[in-house]
C-alpha cells in the first residue's frame, strides 16, 4: 500500500487491493454486484425537487420515527440517537459543505452535519445521516467496514420510503422520485470510478467506491433479509462476506 511520490518519498495510502482484502470480496464479485444494480437502474428526469415545509427538529424527529416504525428491536439505541446526537443543519443553498456523521461529538454520541435546503431531499439526507448515527451507536465500537456503513445508511433510506408509503404521506411520491434521482446520480458518478479502479489493484483508495456496492446491497438486503439480520448489520455483527453469502442463499 505504499505510494512513491515524485520526490521519492513513500507515503502509505490504502489501495484497491487493501479495500478488497478488508471487505473479503473479489474483483469479479464487485462487478457482479454492480451488474445487479444495473438491472434496476432507470433513467429519471432531473426535475427540481418539491419544497418541504418542515423545521430541522421535525425532520430529525421524523427520521427517528421511521426507524422506530421499521424495527421492533433496538428502540433504546434509536431514541438515544434522536436525543443525544449533536446535529448541525447547514443551509445547502449557501454553503457547499457535505453532509457527514462522525463517531464522536464530545458527549459519547456521534456528531452530524446535515444539509438543509428546504426541499424534499432534506428528508433523505437526514435519514441517511441518522442511519449512520444509529449504526455507530448500535455497533458499540465494533469495526464496521465502509461498504457496510453505507449499506446501513441506504437501509435507512429504504425504511423512509416504506414508512412514507405505508402512512400515505403527502411526501411519499415526491420523496420516491427524489430518491430515484439520487440513486441515478450515484450510479452515474461512482460506478464507473469503481469499475476503473477494480482494473488496477494499486489505485489509491477513494471513499466513493463504497457507495455503488452499498446501494445495491441495501436494496437486496431490504427485500430479502429479515429484521434481525438487518439490525445485525447496524450492530456490526455481520461482515460483508457474510452479507453477500446470506443474500446468495435467499
Ligand atoms: Zn453515508
Confidence band for 95, pLDDT divided at 50, 70 and 90: confident
**CB crowding 179-195: b at 16 or more within 10 Å, else e:** bbbbbbebbeebbeebe
pLDDT > 90: percent of the chain = 73
Mean pLDDT (whole number) for 39-50: 64
Q: Which pLDDT score, from 0 to 100, does residue 247 have? A: 94
128 C-alpha to ligand 1 centroid (Å): 6
Mean pLDDT (whole number) for 128-132: 98
| pLDDT above 60 for 165 | yes
Beta-bridged to residue 101, according to DSSP, are: 112
8 C-alpha to ligand 1 centroid (Å): 35
Q: Which pLDDT score, from 0 to 100, does residue 213 have? A: 96
Strand, coil or helix: what is 59? helix
47 C-alpha to ligand 1 centroid (Å): 23
CATH assignment, 2-249: 1.10.1370.30
Cβ atoms of residues 201 and 30 within 8 Å: no
pLDDT > 70: percent of the chain = 91
Q: What is the pLDDT of residues 229-249, one digit of tens each?
A: 999 999 999 999 999 999 998
183 C-alpha to ligand 1 centroid (Å): 13
Which residues lie closer than 8 Å to 158 by C-beta, 6 or more apart? 218, 219, 222
Q: What is the pLDDT of residues 190-222, one digit of tens each?
A: 999 999 999 999 999 999 999 999 999 999 999
Q: Which pLDDT score, from 0 to 100, does residue 6 have? A: 63
The set of cell numbers assigned to 201 is 489493484
User: What's the pTM value of the predicted model, to 2 decimals?
Assistant: 0.92
Give the Å distances, CA to CA, from 228 to 72, 92, 189, 232. Answer: 9, 36, 32, 6
Which is more confidently placed, 4 or 141?
A: 141
In whole angstroms, give the CA distance from residue 121 to residue 175.
7
In whole angstroms, give the CA distance from residue 62 to residue 105.
21
Q: Which pLDDT score, from 0 to 100, does residue 182 have? A: 86
Beta strand residue intervals within 157-207, DSSP E: none
| pLDDT above 80 for 7 | no
131 C-alpha to ligand 1 centroid (Å): 8
Q: What is the pLDDT of residues 135-157, one digit of tens each?
A: 999 999 999 999 999 999 999 99
176 C-alpha to ligand 1 centroid (Å): 18
Cβ atoms of residues 103 and 135 within 8 Å: no
Mean pLDDT (whole number) for 78-95: 92
Confidence band for 42, pLDDT divided at 50, 70 and 90: low
111 C-alpha to ligand 1 centroid (Å): 13
Q: To the nearest whole number, what is the mean pLDDT of the chain?
A: 91
Cβ atoms of residues 130 and 152 within 8 Å: no
Mean pLDDT (whole number) for 160-167: 96
Amino acid at each position: 500500500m505504499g505510494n512513491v511520490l515524485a520526490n521519492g518519498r513513500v507515503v502509505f495510502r490504502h489501495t484497491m487491493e487493501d479495500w478488497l482484502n478488508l471487505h473479503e470480496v473479489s474483483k469479479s464479485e464487485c462487478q457482479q454486484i454492480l451488474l445487479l444494480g444495473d438491472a434496476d437502474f432507470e433513467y429519471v428526469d432531473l426535475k427540481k425537487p418539491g419544497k418541504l415545509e418542515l423545521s430541522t427538529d421535525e425532520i430529525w424527529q421524523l427520521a427517528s420515527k421511521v426507524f422506530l416504525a421499521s424495527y421492533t428491536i433496538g428502540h433504546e439505541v434509536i431514541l438515544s440517537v434522536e436525543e443525544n446526537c449533536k446535529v448541525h443543519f447547514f443551509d445547502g443553498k449557501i454553503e457547499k459543505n457535505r453532509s457527514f456523521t462522525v463517531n464522536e461529538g464530545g458527549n459519547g454520541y456521534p456528531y452530524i452535519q446535515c444539509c438543509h435546503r428546504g426541499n424534499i431531499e432534506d428528508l433523505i439526507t437526514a435519514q441517511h445521516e441518522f442511519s449512520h448515527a444509529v449504526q455507530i451507536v448500535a455497533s458499540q465500537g465494533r469495526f464496521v467496514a465502509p461498504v457496510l456503513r453505507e449499506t446501513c445508511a441506504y437501509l435507512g433510506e429504504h425504511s423512509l420510503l416504506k414508512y412514507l408509503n405505508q402512512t400515505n404521506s403527502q411526501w411519499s411520491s415526491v420523496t420516491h422520485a427524489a430518491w430515484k434521482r439520487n440513486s441515478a446520480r450515484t450510479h452515474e458518478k461512482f460506478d464507473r470510478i469503481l469499475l476503473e479502479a477494480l482494473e488496477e489493484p494499486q489505485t489509491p483508495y477513494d471513499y466513493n467506491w463504497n457507495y455503488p456496492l452499498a446501494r445495491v446491497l441495501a436494496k437486496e438486503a431490504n427485500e430479502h433479509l429479515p429484521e434481525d439480520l438487518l439490525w445485525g448489520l447496524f450492530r456490526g455483527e455481520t461482515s460483508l462476506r457474510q452479507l453477500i453469502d446470506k443474500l446468495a442463499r435467499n
